[in-house]
Structures are given as structure tokens and as C-alpha cells.
């Protein structure tokens, strides 16, 4: 029965919808980061004209602009904007996106597992991914929607890497490149985690591949990762060149980003770390059927080993014993929290556990004492799998009034200022609000054009003093006075200023990115078009081959 694609699809869709059930009945979970992601999507929608890539967000921070907008991948904001356009409402749009992402994660786990096992076994991997408590925590507890989106993409990346390592076929280059590029444009820490995890996974998978396929697999995997990296080149270029231009307001180091204080431990003083330790323990219970590999055939154990090894590596890197590793591996600390390796565990443990369940099945049917033992193992896993629903209901019942109220109100969140450009008030004081787009002392200023990345002001004659624009200074602003390029300056409070003559004059400001960023943008766009086109061509050929 599970050989039918329709039945498999129905099971996967049902599994994907299960984690959403508490939200359907009790309202949308509004965790700490929900407002941030909604504001980011609203800024993307306003600044981008939906399809144009926005260089600068002009409406954020009371019109001062926002550098955070440039330093956050726009994959999720674009998807939330699409959900809003389709539904006409941000909350309904979020629910639609959540459901689609949940199915994509379930489908990704299924794709990953079916590289090694038949569909009837791989479908368990999809069900288990939906039951993973970390994705439940990401949405219900903290609204870490960027993390969740990266969590969704990662199984697809591993599926592509697994196919290239095992079969070494050219047709798998484009799908693998596409998913890796999407990951890099979705969430920075998950992109870094995924890149490191790919190295561990690929070495193991290639070691298992037939000797005559290893060379092809290695070369084609390198091509796919290079192609996917090209898709993320624009964002990586912006991040590497501009990340040093921003700092937390007040400029103290945030204690939540200190690696040593975020290892998982029941003795941790941090409430979030304790919560995630519970999530880790429940994850272990959910994946207890992996023990079935002990009674499995050599072929099943071999199939499960790459995913199982990566699961163990992820678990190790979340515990205090791994502290020396964090001090040695470059850039590892940039993921901020060790417990983010739960993303890797969510993507890999479901595969080895699904194979373990397949090995347990014959032992249960055999009867005897073994049946009782294995039924007990499956019972523990089932109980831990219910954690998502129980936790979701418990969490939303506590905030049901707030959640229901937000469903009836337009989602307008007040500005939350967490970061400022480094040249704006080194002491962390927010610049004074401006009620007009620009001012020049007593001189008359009329705004002829005010767009996020382009502005025009007509300034009347008067004393020569700088035009002060409502917006943060950024090195990419270019100023033109009566068509002549002049310098755009940084005011004492970090605001954008332009020196102007005494006569009546026209001042134009354009946000122009330098050629390396523009070039990286074109490379990313062309790589993305090629990856999508190549994937569609190979899928079309595969479909035609099946029909033939």
C-alpha cells in the first residue's frame, strides 16, 4: 500500500499538518522574535516593490533606515511577503507559509531517507521529522522563524549530497546546488552549520560509495557546492563587508551569545538552556528506536551509518565536553548557540531512526520477550512524539487571549531598536526623531521624491549649512547637488548630511552599492536561474522517461 505515491503524499501531508494543530485551535504563537520577522517581511514588501531586491530599508526606525535589513537573508521575508500577497493578511500568510515549510521539511526528510531505503521505510523519516521537538520549540516558544526555515531546507541539502556521494550522477548536481543556495539565503547560522555538517557527512558517505564512483561523486559534489555557494555570494559579500558596521545598542556583549554559557546541561542557570536540555532529552527518547539497528542486517546498518554518525557529532558539539573543539574550529562560534546543532540532529536522526523502526518490525512480529522490549521502545518514542502537540497546546493555552487578539488586529508592531550603525552615537543613544524627511536650519526644504534608496530635496536659498536627512549615514550613499557629485557626510549623531551652497539647489541622494556587491548580485542571480533551470530540465526528462 505504501508503494502508492498518493498514499505516501497523504501521509506526509498529514504529518506536516500535525504540529500546526494547536495553532489552528488556540491562535498563532507570538514568541519573542515574531515581531522582528514580521517587521522584516513588511520592510521587504515595502522596499522591494515585491520583486526588486531592496538595497536600503527607508521606513524602519522611524524613517532612519535599518542596517539589520541588509545583514539578514531575505529568503524568509520574501516567502512571508508571498504569503501575505496570496492571503491579504499577514497572520493568515504566516500560517500558510508555516504549513508549506512544515511539508517541505517532512518531504526533505523523506527524500533524504529514500536515497538509502525504499519509500515504505523512508516515509517514517518524514513522520519523525514532523515530530522533532526542536522545530516545535523554534516556532511555538521563541518564534525563531529563520532558524525554522533553515531547519526545513537542511534535509534537502543532505539528500542532494547523499545522492551525489552514493551515485555520482551529473543530474543530481543542479538540485543539490539549488537547495544549498537556498539554505545560504535563508539563515546564516544554519548555513554555517550545514556547511560544516556537509563536510562530515560527505566524507562518511564517500567512504561507503563504490570505489569506481568516488571520484565522480567527489568532483560533482564540489561543483554542486560551488554552484550553491555562488547563489549565496551576494549575501555573503554584504555580510562580510558590512557586519563590522553595526553593534548592539549600548555596546555591551550579549550574554546569550557567550558559547560557554549555552552548552546543554541540567545545571545551567539559563532558562532557555534548561528548556533546550529537555528538548534534547525528548529528542533522544523519540529516536530511541535507532537501537533497532543492533538487530538489523548489515545492509541496513551501513545505510544508516552516515546519518547516525552526523547525529552523534551534533549531540557531542552541544555538550560542555566539546568546548575545546569550539575554540579550535574557525567560525564555529559564529552560530552563537551550541544548541543550534539540534537542527542537524532533526535532519539526520529521523533517517537512522526510520531504518531502526524497519529493523524492529520483524522482531515485533516474531513474538516472545523481544516483542515486549521492542514495543516498549516504540511506546517511548510515540510518547515523545506527542510532545509537539502537548507542548503546543500547553504553551498557547497560556497565551491564548493574546494570540486570539492578534488574529483580530492588524499586525503593526512598534519599532524595536536593538542595533545601530557603529558611527551613530558610539555610546548607544538613539538619534532624536525627525518629523520631516530633511531639514536645513531655517531654509525651506521640499521633498520631491522620497524612496528607500533614492531621495530628492529642493532647498531654498539661505545660509550655507548642511542639509540633514532623516536617515542613517551609510558609505554607499551618494549625493548630487544640482547634478554635481558631492560627499555624503556622517553627522555628529550618525545621521546623513550633505553640504549645500547658499543658493536654491536640488539635492539628490542615491544608495549605490559598489561594484563587488553588484557583481556578486549578478553572479547569484545567474547561478540561481541556472540551478532552477537545470533542476527543471532534469525533472522533466525523468518524468518523460517514466511516461515512455
pLDDT 10s digits, 183-220: 999 998 899 999 999 999 999 999 888 888 888 889 99
Higher pLDDT, 313 or 390: 313
Place of cell 532533526: 346
Give the separation between CA 344 and CA 158, rounded to whole angstroms: 10
Give the separation between CA 246 and CA 244, rounded to whole angstroms: 6
Q: Classify residue 409 as left (phi > 0), alpha (psi -120 to 50) or beta.
A: beta
Tell me what pLDDT residue 52 has. 54
Beta-bridge mates of residue 28: none
**Confidence check: pLDDT of 409 > 70:** no
**Confidence check: pLDDT of 253 > 50:** no
Report the range of poorest mean pLDDT among 156-165, 264-273, 344-353, 421-430. 421-430
Tell me what pLDDT residue 71 has. 83
Closest-CA residue to 155 (of 187, 121, 198): 198
Q: How confident is the model at residue 251 (pLDDT cuts 50, 70, 90)?
A: very low
Q: What is the mean pLDDT of the chain?
A: 84
Q: Express as a percent the part of the chain with pLDDT over 90.
A: 38
Report the range of poorest mean pLDDT among 25-29, 180-184, 498-502. 25-29
- Residues 6 or more apart whose Cβ sits within 8 Å of residue 324: none
DSSP structural state of residue 482: T
Contact 339, 137 (CB under 8 A): no
Closest-CA residue to 158 (of 121, 204, 123): 204
Separate counts of helices (H) and strands (E) for the chain: 20, 11
Give the separation between CA 118 and CA 113, rounded to whole angstroms: 8
Q: How confident is the model at residue 130 (pLDDT cuts 50, 70, 90)?
A: very high
- Alpha carbon 410 to its chain centroid, in Å, reads 25
Contact 227, 177 (CB under 8 A): yes
Rounded to 5°, the CA angle 399-400-405 comes to 105
Helix or strand holding residue 26 (H, E) = helix 21-26
Which of 208-222, 226-240, 401-415 is modeled with the greatest confidence?
226-240
- Alpha carbon 188 to its chain centroid, in Å, reads 7
Tell me what pLDDT residue 92 has. 86
User: Nearest 5°: phi and psi at 347?
Assistant: -80, -25
Cell of 314: 551534533
Rounded to 5°, the CA angle 483-488-490 comes to 165
Q: How confident is the model at residue 50 (pLDDT cuts 50, 70, 90)?
A: very low
Contact 438, 476 (CB under 8 A): no
Report the range of poorest mean pLDDT among 102-111, 335-344, 524-533. 335-344
Tell me what pLDDT residue 450 has. 85
Report the range of poorest mean pLDDT among 241-255, 279-293, 309-323, 504-518. 241-255
Q: How confident is the model at residue 538 (pLDDT cuts 50, 70, 90)?
A: confident
**pLDDT (tens digit per residue) in 270-298:** 777 888 898 999 999 999 999 989 888 88
Q: How confident is the model at residue 69 (pLDDT cuts 50, 70, 90)?
A: confident
Would you list the DSSP string of 477-534? Answer: EEEEETTEEE-EEE-TTSEEEE---SS-EEEEEEE---HHHHHHHHHHHHHHHHHHHH
Report the range of poorest mean pLDDT among 25-34, 285-294, 434-443. 25-34
**Confidence check: pLDDT of 15 > 80:** yes
Beta strands in 309-422 (DSSP E): 419-421
Contact 386, 379 (CB under 8 A): no
Mean pLDDT score, 391-395: 75
Tell me what pLDDT residue 249 has. 59
Give the separation between CA 396 and CA 390, rounded to whole angstroms: 10
Tell me what pLDDT residue 41 has. 82
Contact 146, 187 (CB under 8 A): yes
Give the separation between CA 283 and CA 276, rounded to whole angstroms: 10
**pLDDT (tens digit per residue) in 294-351:** 888 888 889 899 999 999 999 999 988 888 888 888 777 777 788 899 999 999 999 9
Tell me what pLDDT residue 408 has. 52
Tell me what pLDDT residue 458 has. 94
Give the separation between CA 94 and CA 91, rounded to whole angstroms: 5
Amino acid at each position: 500500500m505504501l508503494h502508492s505515491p498518493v498514499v505516501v503524499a497523504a501521509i506526509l501531508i498529514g504529518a506536516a499538518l500535525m504540529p500546526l494543530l494547536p495553532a489552528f485551535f488556540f491562535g498563532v504563537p507570538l514568541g519573542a522574535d515574531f515581531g522582528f520577522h514580521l517587521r522584516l517581511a513588511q520592510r521587504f514588501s515595502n522596499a522591494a516593490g515585491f520583486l526588486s531586491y531592496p538595497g536600503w530599508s527607508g521606513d524602519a526606525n522611524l524613517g532612519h533606515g535599518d542596517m539589520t535589513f541588509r545583514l539578514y537573508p531575505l529568503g524568509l521575508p520574501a516567502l512571508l511577503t508571498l504569503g501575505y500577497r496570496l492571503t491579504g493578511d499577514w497572520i493568515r500568510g504566516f500560517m500558510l507559509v508555516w504549513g508549506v515549510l512544515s511539508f517541505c521539511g517532512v518531504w526533505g526528510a523523506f527524500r533524504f531517507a529514500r536515497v538509502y531505503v525504499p519509500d515504505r521505510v523512508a516515509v517514517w523519516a518524514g513522520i519523525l521529522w514532523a515530530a522533532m521537538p526542536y522545530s516545535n520549540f523554534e516556532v511555538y516558544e521563541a518564534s525563531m522563524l529563520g532558524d525554522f526555515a533553515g531547519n526545513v531546507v537542511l534535509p534537502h541539502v543532505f539528500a542532494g549530497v547523499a545522492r551525489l556521494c552514493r551515485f555520482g550522477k551529473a543530474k543530481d548536481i543542479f538540485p543539490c546546488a539549488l537547495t544549498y543556495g537556498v539554505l545560504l539565503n535563508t539563515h546564516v547560522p544554519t548555513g554555517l552549520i550545514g556547511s560544516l555538517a556537509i563536510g562530515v557527512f560527505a566524507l562518511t558517505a564517500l567512504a561507503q560509495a563504490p570505489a569506481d564512483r568516488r571520484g565522480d561523486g567527489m568532483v560533482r559534489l564540489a561543483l554542486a557546492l560551488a554552484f550553491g555557494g555562488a547563489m549565496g555570494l551576494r549575501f555573503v559579500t554584504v555580510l562580510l563587508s558590512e557586519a563590522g558596521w553595526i553593534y548592539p545598542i549600548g555596546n555591551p556583549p550579549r550574554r546569550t551569545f557567550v558559547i560557554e554559557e549555552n552548552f546543554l546541561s541540567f545545571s545551567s542557570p539559563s532558562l532557555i538552556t534548561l528548556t533546550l536540555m529537555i528538548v534534547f532529552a525528548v529528542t533522544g527518547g523519540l529516536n530511541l528506536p535507532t537501537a533497532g539497528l543492533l538487530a538489523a542486517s548489515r545492509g541496513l546498518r551501513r545505510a544508516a551509518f552516515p546519518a547516525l554518525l552526523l547525529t552523534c557529532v551534533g549531540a557531542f558539539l552541544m555538550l560542555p565536553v566539546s568546548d575545546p573543539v569550539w575554540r579550535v574550529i574557525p567560525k564555529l562560534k559564529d552560530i552563537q548557540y551550541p544548541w543550534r546543532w539540534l537542527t542537524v540532529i532533526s535532519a539526520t536522526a529521523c533517517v537512522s531512526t526510520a531504518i531502526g523502526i524497519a529493523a524492529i518490525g520483524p522482531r515485533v512480529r516474531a513474538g516472545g520477550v523481544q516483542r515486549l522490549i521492542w514495543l516498549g521502545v516504540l511506546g517511548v518514542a510515540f510518547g515523545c512524539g506527542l510532545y509537539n502537540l502537548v507542548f503546543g497546546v500547553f504553551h498557547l493555552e497560556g497565551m491564548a487571549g493574546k494570540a486570539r487578539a492578534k488574529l483580530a488586529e492588524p499586525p503593526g508592531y512598534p519599532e524595536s531598536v536593538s542595533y545601530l550603525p557603529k558611527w551613530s552615537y558610539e555610546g548607544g543613544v538613539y538619534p532624536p526623531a525627525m518629523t520631516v524627511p530633511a531639514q536645513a536650519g531655517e531654509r525651506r526644504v521640499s521633498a520631491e521624491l522620497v524612496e528607500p534608496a533614492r531621495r530628492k530635496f529642493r532647498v531654498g536659498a539661505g545660509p550655507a549649512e548642511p542639509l540633514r536627512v532623516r536617515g542613517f549615514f551609510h558609505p554607499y550613499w551618494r549625493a548630487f547637488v544640482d547634478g554635481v557629485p558631492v560627499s555624503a557626510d556622517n553627522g555628529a549623531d550618525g545621521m546623513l548630511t550633505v553640504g549645500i551652497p547658499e543658493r536654491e539647489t536640488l539635492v539628490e541622494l542615491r544608495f549605490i552599492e559598489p561594484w563587488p556587491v553588484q557583481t556578486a548580485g549578478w553572479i547569484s542571480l545567474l547561478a540561481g536561474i541556472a540551478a532552477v533551470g537545470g533542476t527543471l530540465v532534469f525533472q522533466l526528462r525523468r518524468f518523460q522517461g517514466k511516461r515512455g
